[in-house]
Every structure is written in C-alpha cells, then in structure tokens.
Amino acid sequence: MSQNLFIGSLAYATTDDTLKAFFEQIGEVASARVAIDRDTNRSRGFGFVQFTDEANNQKAVDELNGKELDGRAINVDLARPKEDRPRRDFGGNNNGGGNAFRQRSW
C-alpha cells in the first residue's frame, strides 16, 4: 500500500473532484477523498490524496503546502498511519446508569 498525503484546512466547498484536479498538476492521482461528517454530510475540513507514483508525495508537499485551494491555504503533509485504538463500547452494561433502556412492567 502506498503512502497517502494528508490535506488539512480544506474549504467546505472542496470536493473529491476538485481535490484530485488540484493535485494532478504534480502527477497522476490514484485517489482523492475529502472526509465527510456522517451527521451533517459536510466536509470535515481535511482529506487524503494518493498518487500512482509515490515519488510525487514529497514533490506535492514541497510545492503545494500553503497554496490556495477554493479560497483557503491548505496544509499538505505525509499521512501518519492510523493508530490502533481500543474499540469504544457505547452500549451494554452500564450498571443501572441513567441511559439504560428499561422495559415497562405494565
């Protein structure tokens, strides 16, 4: 798996297509994704770009970091790998806490 670029400070108007088109000035883009909030269906203000040739990553960082895209100066950096985090448990046994669902007995 090749290295992704992390793109920060994206405008809410930036789409996958505009992000891809912007980075194609460096080289062929394999994928470009803007992170979308599940609840609001709006951009979360960051995204990821992956080039077909990984050699373009450093060139993109050097040439596009701080450049303007859709009216905002963007941050371009190598993406860090996702950390292994313990899974959060939102349900189940909360020992009689206030949010537990109780069946009515009538």
Give the 3-state secondary structure of residue 79.
coil
11-45: pLDDT as tens digits: 999 999 999 999 999 999 999 999 999 999 999 99
Tokens of 104: 């009515």
- Considering the domain boundaries, does residue 105 fall inside one? no
CATH number at residue 64: 3.30.70.330
Q: What angle do CA 64, 56, 37 make, to 5 degrees?
A: 60
Q: Is 72 helix (H, G, I), strand (E, B) or coil?
A: strand
94 is a domain residue: no
Q: Is the residue at 47 inside a domain?
A: yes
* Residue at 66 is within a domain: yes
In a domain, 38, yes or no: yes
Instruction: Report if residue 96 sits inside a domain.
Output: no
For residues 94 and 25, give the distance between their C-alpha atoms in angstroms, rounded to a whole number.
53
pTM score of the predicted model: 0.77
Q: Quick check: is 106 in a domain? A: no
CA distance 52 to 35: 20
DSSP assignment letter at 2: P
Domain membership of residue 52 (yes or no) is yes
Domain that holds residue 65: 5-78
Q: Report pLDDT for 1.
A: 60
Question: pLDDT tens, 47-93?
Answer: 999 999 999 999 999 999 999 999 999 999 999 887 766 776 665 55
Structural domain count of the chain: 1
